[in-house]
Amino acid sequence: MKSRIYTSDAPAPIGPYSQAVKAGPWIFVSGQIPLDPKTGKIETEPAQAARLVMRHIENILKAAGTDWQGVVKTTIFLQDLRHFDTVNRIYAEYFTDGIPPARETVQAARLPKDVPLEISVIALSP
């Protein structure tokens, strides 16, 4: 059994996918980009973009009934790995308690809407 998770506090999908899907105890959050859901503006400055993306993920996790403690896996796509330290510093602010999730970070030649980063997560619901 699976169900769609949606919140207006994160960007609406720009294609045929869901913001997140809950399947059994698992929550699969689609890659989030630094797109302001209210204005449609894309944040391009790496630190601000990372904060916006993490806020989107947090809002989706909340809509799914969980939080950062439930996250077991993340994937970060960066347009430029030179921004790794900046993004990593902001990312670390969200995982201060317990066991941090497994993760990979990769450089992608191009991301949707030419954004500087995209992050997806897999979480376990409480």
For residues 23 and 66, give the distance between their C-alpha atoms in angstroms, rounded to a whole number: 14
pLDDT greater than 90 at residue 51:
yes
Q: Tens digits of per-residue pLDDT, 68-123? A: 999 999 999 999 999 999 999 999 999 998 899 999 999 999 999 999 999 999 99
What domains are defined for the chain? 2-124 (3.30.1330.40)
pLDDT for position 97 = 86
Answer yes or no: are the C-beta atoms of 20 and 119 closer than 8 Å.
no
Global confidence as pTM: 0.96
Residue owning tokens 């995982």: 95
pLDDT band per the 50, 70, 90 thresholds, residue 14 = confident
DSSP string covering 43-56: P-SHHHHHHHHHHH
Q: Tens digits of per-residue pLDDT, 91-101? A: 999 999 889 99
